[in-house]
Structure 1
Amino acid sequence: MPILNFHLVQGQHEQARIESLLLRSSQLFAEVLACPIDRVRVFATEHAPQHMCVGGQMVRQGDQAAPYFNFIVLRGRSLEDKHRLLAGFTDLLVEILGCPRDRVRGGVTPVEPEDWSIGGTPASLLRQAEIEARRLAAGK
């Protein structure tokens, strides 16, 4: 279920670095959430510079633009896990792509298990035991 999307300026980063970002982010996601890596999906969406505006200014080719990321997890994940992922994905952008830390933005979108499907079946049905264990561990 875990899904992550990085939004980057097209042509700003070497493809090998983007690939490294995707692979290491996948590993981090699986490690922090203690889930099988085959459940993890990570994307890099590149946007043309003329389609991005940062701080009220259009991004120009060669600008050190501000990357944005968003990840989706099933509701019930701990605040600690979400904070570790927010920090970890930021760290990877800084380390791998050389992005200025203060320009990186990111967010988490929790989704109710009954509002997410896996192969067309609600996650609430497929992973009922896992979801209940996470809920109990979080003290809810």
Structure 2
Amino acid sequence: MPIVTFHLVEGRYPPERLDELLERASTLYARVLDSPLERVRAFVAGYPAERVAVAGTRVSRGAQPAPYFEFLVLHGRPVAQRHALLAGFTDLLVELLDAPRALIRGRAVQLEPDDWAIAGEPASATRRAEIQARAGAGSA
């Protein structure tokens, strides 16, 4: 389930930095969620500078790029984990891409286990024990 997508302006960042962003974001995600790294997916979605606006001005006309990211978690993940990922992904963008912290935006998207498929099966079935364990930990 762990999926993160970084939405960035194309051509603004060295490929090796993007590689490192994907690798370190994957490791961070796995560590924070205590999830096997094999489950993590990380993406960079690139947009032409003329198709990105910040404060009403296109980046192609001088606006500073403002990275945005979003990540998916199954409903029931503790708020502390979601906050750690919001902070951690922001820190990676600042460190690796020299993005101004004040311009970065991020979003945690919680999905119901019945609305997420793993190998064509609802996560509510394939991850039943994990979901129940998290629900039990949240009520304790």
TM-score category by the smaller chain?
over 0.9
Deviations 1:10-45 (A, max 9, x none): 000000000000000000000000000000000001
Partner residue, 2:97: 97
Matched to 2:27, the amino acid is Q
Q: CA deviation at 1:64?
A: 3.2
CA contact (8 A) 1:5 1:45 kept: yes
Matched to 1:106, the amino acid is G
Deviations 1:87-139 (A, max 9, x none): 00000000011000000000000000010000100000001000000111112
Partner residue, 1:43: 43
Q: Is residue 117 of structure 1 aligned with residue 106 of structure 2?
A: no
Query: Which sections of structure 2, spanning at least 5 residues, go unmatched?
Result: none
2:139 is paired with a residue whose SS is coil
Partner residue, 2:53: 53
Partner residue, 1:126: 126
Which moved further from structure 2: 51-60 or 71-80?
51-60
Partner residue, 1:70: 70
CA contact (8 A) 1:74 1:111 kept: yes
Q: Distance in 2 between matches of 1:137 and 1:44?
A: 33
Q: Distance in 1 between matches of 2:16 and 2:63?
A: 20
Matched to 2:121, the amino acid is T
Q: Distance in 2 between matches of 1:108 and 1:122?
A: 20
CA contact (8 A) 2:54 2:64 kept: no
Q: Distance in 2 between matches of 1:46 and 1:138?
A: 37
Q: Distance in 1 between matches of 2:28 and 2:62?
A: 29
Q: State the Cα RMSD in Å.
A: 1.2
Task: Give aligned pairs, total.
Answer: 140
Q: Is residue 135 of structure 1 aligned with residue 135 of structure 2?
A: yes
CA contact (8 A) 1:90 1:104 kept: yes
> Structure 1 residue runs of 4+, over 2 Å off?
61-64
Query: Which sections of structure 1, spanning at least 5 residues, go unmatched?
Result: none
Under a length normalisation based on structure 2, what TM-score does the superposition of the two structures give? Answer: 0.97
Q: Distance in 2 between matches of 1:105 and 1:63?
A: 16
